């Protein structure tokens, strides 16, 4: 009997380790999320019919969330500032899904106008009767060096990415507590876990979100059906760099660079929906070597700083030389 156990362990343990290693090398998400994508609930089964409020739904990740959720049969509340873009997203959702006009509410919303958030939440609840999932996705990034950046930019980043998200959550959470069920999913970033050059304000706002939601989760332990999740994507194809804050509030970014090296929006969103369907509380979604970098940051911070310093130096130099700072981490920067 003992021999059998030793024999089984002898083969089983290395096999499990090998599977994990292969998962890691070829993976584009953390282990929990990858396992959930293989053996967990399918978003099509779990999210069908649920009412999902997506902020930042007019572009990028939020727009793709709207498309994939509508295909899953979720009913949607689409929010962002640009109403015409939201209407375009709604038309596309209706064209490619079985949803009816009434199943999608276009609800224009400015995350900075916190005084309007109570009324917007009431409008969303009035339309569908309840909200099952809030996806706090709206936000902006930053491409500028600290020494050259106005403090107004830091205030704007915190107002939008942090306080705007906290404010919507503040209005939606009591409704979910009353029903003792619901999910609040917040799109943070790898920059919410690690430091990034050219994004001191952005990274601060995402670290603030991580701290806020990790703490909020600990206050809600008596509601087992109330799930607080954060999503930490690496670089994903979207308008994020194009729309980034720079040194001054209204100064546009000179060059947004290319998107080739980034994860596709559809893959990122698919993994997010798998995580939501399986109540994963923290989702790391990134291609290699960004995923490896996440793990290194968590387990060996001293070594992580060694690597970070090399990469950061290169990125700052390229930025100062007017080159594409984003694709220059691991690939040769384009000079024209
Ligand atoms: N793409 C990436 O590489 C990446 C990586 C990690 C995390 N993220 C996070 O993913 C989220 C979505 O970004 P994205 O990549 O999809 O970028 P995006 O294409 O620029 O989309 C940003 C969305 O946020 C909305 N938004 C901006 N300011 C707003 C405001 N004041 N009020 C309400 N909505 C506002 C925009 O809509 P309007 O302009 O119409 O208001 C837009 O729908 C962000 O939180 C970002 O930090 C992105």
The reply to whether ligand 1 has any atom less than 6 angstroms from the CB of 240 is: yes
Helix (H, G, I), strand (E, B) or coil at 72: helix
| Residue 276 pLDDT greater than 60, yes or no | yes
Nearest to 140 by CA among 286, 242, 250, 261: 242
Domain boundaries, the chain: 24-301
- At residue 138, φ and ψ (nearest 5 deg) are -60, 140
Q: Position of tokens 């968590």?
A: 298
Ligand 1 atom at shortest distance from the alpha carbon of 112: 31
Half-sphere exposure of 42 (CA within 13 A, CB side): 6
Q: Which CATH superfamily is domain 24-301 in?
A: NAD(P)-binding Rossmann-like Domain (3.40.50.720)
The reply to whether ligand 1 has any atom less than 6 angstroms from the CB of 192 is: no
pLDDT in tens, 217-261: 999 999 999 999 999 999 999 999 999 999 999 998 887 777 778
What is the pLDDT confidence band of residue 333, given thresholds at 50, 70 and 90? Answer: very low
Neighbours of 150 (CB within 10 A): 15
Spacing, Cα 241 to ligand 1 middle (Å): 10
Helix (H, G, I), strand (E, B) or coil at 147: helix
The reply to whether ligand 1 has any atom less than 6 angstroms from the CB of 81 is: yes
pLDDT in tens, 193-214: 999 999 999 999 999 999 999 9
How many whole angstroms separate alpha carbon 326 and alpha carbon 329?
6
The reply to whether ligand 1 has any atom less than 6 angstroms from the CB of 139 is: yes
Closest residue CA from atom 41 of ligand 1? 81
How many whole angstroms separate alpha carbon 256 and alpha carbon 221?
42
How many whole angstroms separate alpha carbon 236 and alpha carbon 28?
12
Catalytic residues: 202
For residue 119, cis peptide bond before it (omega within 30 degrees of 0): no
28, 60, 79, best to mutate for ligand 1 pocket (most atoms within 8 Å of CB)? 60
| Residue 18 pLDDT greater than 70, yes or no | yes
Percent of the chain predicted with pLDDT > 70: 96
Q: Position of tokens 């290319």?
A: 258
pLDDT in tens, 35-58: 999 999 999 999 999 999 999 999
Residue 296 Cα distances to 139, 240, 284, angstroms: 27, 25, 13
């Amino acid at each position: 009997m003992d021999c059998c156990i030793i024999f089984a362990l002898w083969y089983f343990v290395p096999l499990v380790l090998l599977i994990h290693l292969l998962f890691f090398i070829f993976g584009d998400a953390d282990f929990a999320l990858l396992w959930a994508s293989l053996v967990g609930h399918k978003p099509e089964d779990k999210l069908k019919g649920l009412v999902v409020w997506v902020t930042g739904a007019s572009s990028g990740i939020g727009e793709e969330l709207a498309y994939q959720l509508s295909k899953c049969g979720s009913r949607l509340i689409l929010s962002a500032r640009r109403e015409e873009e939201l209407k375009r997203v709604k038309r596309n959702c209706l064209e490619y899904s079985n949803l009816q006009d009434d199943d999608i509410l276009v609800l224009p919303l400015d995350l900075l106008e916190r005084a309007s958030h109570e009324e917007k939440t009431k409008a969303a609840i009035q339309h569908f009767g309840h909200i099952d999932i809030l996806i706090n996705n709206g936000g902006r990034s930053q491409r500028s060096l600290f020494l050259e950046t106005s403090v107004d930019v830091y205030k704007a980043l915190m107002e939008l990415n942090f306080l705007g998200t906290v404010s919507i959550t503040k209005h939606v959470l009591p409704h979910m507590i009353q029903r003792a069920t619901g999910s609040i999913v917040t799109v943070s970033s790898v920059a919410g876990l690690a430091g990034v050059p050219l994004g001191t304000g952005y990274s601060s706002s995402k670290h603030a979100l991580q701290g806020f939601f990790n703490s909020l989760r600990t206050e809600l332990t008596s509601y087992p059906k109330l799930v607080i999740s954060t999503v930490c994507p690496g670089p994903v194809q979207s308008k994020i760099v194009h729309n980034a804050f720079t040194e001054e509030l209204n100064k546009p970014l000179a060059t947004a660079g290319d998107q080739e090296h980034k994860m596709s929006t559809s893959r990122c969103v698919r993994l997010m929906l798998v995580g939501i369907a399986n109540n994963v509380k923290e989702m790391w979604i990134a291609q290699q070597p960004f995923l490896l970098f996440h793990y290194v940051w968590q387990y060996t911070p001293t070594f992580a700083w060694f690597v970070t310093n090399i990469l950061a130096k290169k990125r700052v130099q390229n930025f100062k030389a007017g080159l594409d700072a984003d694709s220059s981490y691991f690939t040769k920067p384009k000079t024209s």
